[in-house]
Amino acid sequence: MDESKIAPAERIMSARTRCLEMLDGLLRRPSWVVACTLFVFLWPGASPAADNQPYVVRKNDTLSSIARSHGVSMNQLLEANALSRSGHIRVGQRLKIPQTPSRSASIDETSPPSGLPSSIQAEMNRPRIIPGRWDYIVIHHSATPMGDAQSMDRYHREQRHMENGLAYHFVIGNGNGMRDGQIVVGHRWAQQLNGGHLASEALNARSIGICLVGNFDKDRPTRRQLESLDAITEYLMKRCRVGKSAVKTHQQINTVGTRCPGRLFDEGAFLRGLN
Ligand SMILES: [Zn+2]
């Protein structure tokens, strides 16, 4: 279950992320940095882009953050969309993401081997990860018998007032609402945003959140869910250089008492099974 309810803190953290992005850009790129600061302020309405699909601009996106999260250069993104550096982007605008040799090369370089479907692995490979960005991988259940990433996203935006929506970086379906074992890569992963799944904002800033749909106080996770969880966790451990001891359940890491991910989630067996 998600724990964060402090939208203002989240705003501060996302402003901090934007500042880091800008600083990073200043250090690595020439004078068009000014064009990177085209923040957008309207409300989002679409899902993350898959391969060859247009990317729909979301609140707080910048051209530089979009370029970086898709592994393309700013110039390639501008060219593909006939945009000028002084142009503006708006929420809901569809941007073509260029397929480039450099993009494939960067994916190959950063891609640890995994049992993940290739489309999911490609989506997970896309963002550039700052070394040391993540310290923990945290497992949750939704505490509901059914669910999907879209309705969780809506709930977190509308009921929990989280401006970045879906509090987790990844969601794994149980066959009720999403396919059994289906993985959804959230936009917090695509944009390397802090999670919103823990009570502590300091931990949210360092912890990748994975949510399995289901109420594991009443039912066990499905075999396919556990296979997907293993594959994602092993990928993340390698890609983010996180050790097994830093893979935690919500209950183990939270600063406030919680039973998440439920008494029927066997964390011992899960951890023993990780390679
Ligand atoms: Zn939880």
* pLDDT, tens digit, 9 for 90 and up, residues 169-223: 999 999 999 999 999 999 999 999 999 999 999 999 999 999 999 999 999 999 9
d(CA 141, ligand 1 centre) in Å: 6
d(CA 79, ligand 1 centre) in Å: 42
DSSP 92-152: T-EE-----HHHHHHHHHH----SS-HHHHHHHHSS---TT---EEEEEE-SBSS--HHHH
Pairwise pLDDT comparison (51 vs 100), residue with the higher score: 100
d(CA 264, ligand 1 centre) in Å: 14
Decide if 7-102 and 118-273 have a common fold: no
pLDDT for 67 equals 77
pLDDT for 110 equals 54
Give 121's pLDDT tier (boundaries 50, 70, 90).
very high
d(CA 206, ligand 1 centre) in Å: 15
d(CA 179, ligand 1 centre) in Å: 21
d(CA 5, ligand 1 centre) in Å: 13
**Average pLDDT over the chain, rounded to an integer:** 81
What is the arithmetic mean of pLDDT over 158-167? 96
**Class in CATH terms, 118-273:** alpha beta
Q: How far is CA 115 from CA 67, 85, 210, 216, 232, in A?
A: 27, 40, 17, 24, 8
CA–CA gap between residue 53 and residue 36 (Å, rounded): 22
If residue 212 lies in a helix (H) or strand (E), which one and from where to where? strand 207-212
d(CA 249, ligand 1 centre) in Å: 8
Domain map (residue ranges) of the chain: 7-102, 118-273
Predicted TM-score (pTM) of the model is: 0.63
What is the arithmetic mean of pLDDT over 106-110? 44
Does residue 100 have a pLDDT over 50?
Answer: yes
d(CA 52, ligand 1 centre) in Å: 33
pLDDT for 113 equals 64
pLDDT for 69 equals 72
The token pair that represents 270 in the structure block: 């899960």
Give 31's pLDDT tier (boundaries 50, 70, 90).
very low
- Look at the domain 7-102 and name its fold: Membrane-bound Lytic Murein Transglycosylase D; Chain A (3.10.350)
pLDDT for 62 equals 81
d(CA 3, ligand 1 centre) in Å: 7
pLDDT for 177 equals 97
Does residue 37 have a pLDDT over 70?
Answer: no
- What 3-state class would DSSP assign to 219? coil
